[in-house]
Amino acid sequence: MKIELLTIFPEMFSSFLDASIIGRARANRLIDVHATDIRPFSVSKHKNTDDYPFGGGAGMLMMPQPIADAMRAVAPEPFHGKRIYMSPRGKTLTQEMAQQLAKEENLVILCGHYEGVDQRVLDKYIDMEVSIGDYVLTGGETAAMVLIDCVSRLVPGVLGSSESAADESFSSAGLLEYPQYTRPRVFEDMEVPDVLLNGDHKKINQWRREQSLLITAKLRPDLLAAAPVTEKERAWLAEQMEQVQP
């Protein structure tokens, strides 16, 4: 997968792209991520990238010309992939959206600043707007890192087998992950649950499933409705919840 970033702050991406799993995936050529500075594309005398909005109002807008020229340079036609604008008004990023995007050959991600981007450049060069949540960031760069992170780890080969993406929150199971423990067995007077120490994998799996159900019911009851949970499990869960809060 090839990812092209269009930004006025390409330096923000350097440590993110070099570290950890994303750094390793790039080194192994599983993903190719490149940040392009929009500013040099500006034809204005001082290489401006922003201007006042027509009609007045607070703040500045990103000018269409530098973005359109940068876009044509990194994504010449015919373009196969998705051109994304990071924006709080976009469709909210979900694991399902990440799974769809992970199948694309190319992603171009435009990071906005100031009060936004001239609408015409969005109309002509953007396929989808993506938000990472209902809050406003100072710019699209941190949102783009979130998107790149969660899409990249779904690209085949990016995660090692010990980091498998299959059995975790928001994946196919639709439930939150069960609690996990490592050594020591007793930490600050808190013990690891006995069931995890006896090597009975049937019991361990059952305990983990129950913990997933309980933690999802407690923290994200909205997820439970759509999750693949059996009638028997729902009945068990209802009983447990009654005991907790009669």
CB of 81 to ligand ADE, least distance (A): 19
Query: Any idea which residue has 């196919």 for tokens?
Result: 172
CB of 51 to ligand ADE, least distance (A): 19
Looking at the Cβ atoms of 131 and 152, the one nearer to ligand ADE is 131
Looking at the Cβ atoms of 66 and 140, the one nearer to ligand ADE is 140
Say which residues have a Cβ less than 8 Å from residue 170's Cβ, sequence separation at least 6: 94, 95
> Can you tell me the distance from the alpha carbon of 90 to that of 143, in angstroms, rounded to the nearest whole number?
11
CB of 105 to ligand ADE, least distance (A): 23
Exposure of 130 in the CB half-sphere (CA atoms within 13 A) = 29
Task: Give CA separation, 25 vs 146, 178, 223, in Å.
Answer: 16, 28, 31
CB of 55 to ligand ADE, least distance (A): 21
Site residues (CB under 6 A) for ligand ADE, limited to 51-70: none
CB of 97 to ligand ADE, least distance (A): 13
Q: In this chain, which stretch among 69-77, 126-134, 148-156, 237-245 interacts with ligand ADE, using CB under 6 A? A: 126-134
Write the DSSP assignment of 190-238 as a string of letters: EEPPGGGGS--HHHHHHHHHHHHHHHHHHH-HHHHTTS---HHHHHHHH
Looking at the Cβ atoms of 91 and 185, the one nearer to ligand ADE is 91
Looking at the Cβ atoms of 122 and 229, the one nearer to ligand ADE is 122
Q: Does the protein bind ligand ADE through residue 137 (CB under 6 A)?
A: yes
| Per-residue interface string for the shown chain with ligand ADE, residues 81-110, x marking contact by CB under 6 A | -----xxx----------------------
CB of 214 to ligand ADE, least distance (A): 31
- Closest Cα partner for 66 from 46, 82, 92? 46
- Work out the angle at residue 156's Cα, subtended by the Cα atoms of residues 176 and 163, and round it to the nearest 5 degrees: 45
> Can you tell me the distance from the alpha carbon of 93 to that of 206, in angstroms, rounded to the nearest whole number?
31
Return the residue nearest ligand ADE (CB atom). Answer: 143
DSSP letter at 40 equals G
Residues of this chain that bind ligand ADE (CB under 6 A): 86-88, 131-133, 135-137, 140, 143
